[in-house]
Amino acid sequence: MLTEVADGVFVHEAEFVQSNSVIVRGRDGALLIDPGITRAELSSIASDLDDLGLRVVAAFSTHPHWDHLLWDARFGDVPRYGTAGCAASARTQLAPEAKAEIIAHLDGTGIEDDVPMELFGLVSGLPEGAAEVPWDGPRVRIIEHAAHAPGHAALWIEDRSVLVAGDMLSDVLVPMLDFDGTADPFADHLTALGLLEEAAADAAVLVPGHGSVGGPGAVPARVAHDRAYVEALRDGRSPDDARIGPDARAGWEWVADVHAGQVAALSRRREVSD
């Protein structure tokens, strides 16, 4: 089911980790951002687009993690963009062994047989530093940063006042730092939060990669929330954060394990550098 969150901007919320796909109506078709997860859901998005009389003319993956790189043949053979860094990372995941590893990681989630890998990861990199997505529709500005994943980008659709945040600013997931990818994941994450706030503090709509769509005021509120988490983690304090507390939303208790994993990764990293 597609929900229209702003004029010509639609969101499909998947069952898996409340993943959001975004569709933006352009002059001659739609831009599809982070297409979706399971075969059935990708296919239902394709049907919903048919019902709206929209065909996909371009796509964009916010970052090179598997759940943002999937595709269904029904969307057609159109350019699937990402930043240069996103495309470079996606390319390393195209080998059959890499794809098999992704499916192996999904074992036990219940969707391991439902994720289509045939057209996975075929992302064309935009030129280094590209400022917007090349397509015939409302201007979609690229806010690239190094938090969470290489070549990660949020998209700011200024005319519609919509921020598509990628895997940032979630109300259910804590910030997940890229401990393996960068020299200073804390600085990178805090810088990214600053960029999102600077570009889109007044956004009327915030669509995170996973979690609930937010309204006016959601960008600064979630930036502050994520900043507090990242600073606590960095400084070795226990974050006072409902997402990992005893009152975490039902079904999301595992986010506390993600946090514990980050604390462990951090202490390993500090041991190595000491």
Q: Per CB under 5 A, does 13 bind Zn ion?
A: no
Q: Which is nearer to Zn ion, 137 or 211 (CB)?
A: 211
Q: Which is nearer to Zn ion, 72 or 167 (CB)?
A: 167
Taking the complex as a whole, the smallest distance from the CB of residue 272 to Zn ion amounts, in Å, to 27
Angle at 204 between CA 131 and CA 63, to 5 degrees: 40
Q: What is the DSSP string of 127-139?
A: PTT--B--SSSS-
Q: Which is nearer to Zn ion, 172 or 221 (CB)?
A: 172
CA distance 34 to 12: 10
The only residue of 8, 11, 56, 67 in contact with Zn ion, by rule CB under 5 A? 67
Binding residues for Zn ion, rule CB under 5 A, total 3
CA distance 140 to 205: 14
Mask for 157-186, x = binds Zn ion (CB under 5 A): ----------x-------------------
Q: Which is nearer to Zn ion, 8 or 211 (CB)?
A: 211
CA distance 210 to 200: 18
How many CB atoms are located within 10 Å of the residue 195 CB? 18
Taking the complex as a whole, the smallest distance from the CB of residue 235 to Zn ion amounts, in Å, to 26
The only residue of 209, 211, 214, 239 in contact with Zn ion, by rule CB under 5 A? 209
Torsion sign (Cα): 107, 63, 85, 88: positive
Q: Which is nearer to Zn ion, 138 or 185 (CB)?
A: 185
Q: Which is nearer to Zn ion, 160 or 210 (CB)?
A: 210
Which of 42-50, 67-75, 127-135, 172-180 is the region at the interface with Zn ion (rule: CB under 5 A)?
Answer: 67-75
Which of 76-84, 87-95, 113-121, 204-212 is the region at the interface with Zn ion (rule: CB under 5 A)?
Answer: 204-212
| Residues sharing a CB contact under 8 Å with residue 171, sequence separation 6 or more, in sequence order | 208, 211, 212, 214, 222, 243
Token couple for 179: 């401990």
Q: Which of 126, 144, 42 is nearest to 81 (CA)?
A: 126
**Residues contributing to the site for Zn ion (CB under 5 A):** 67, 167, 209
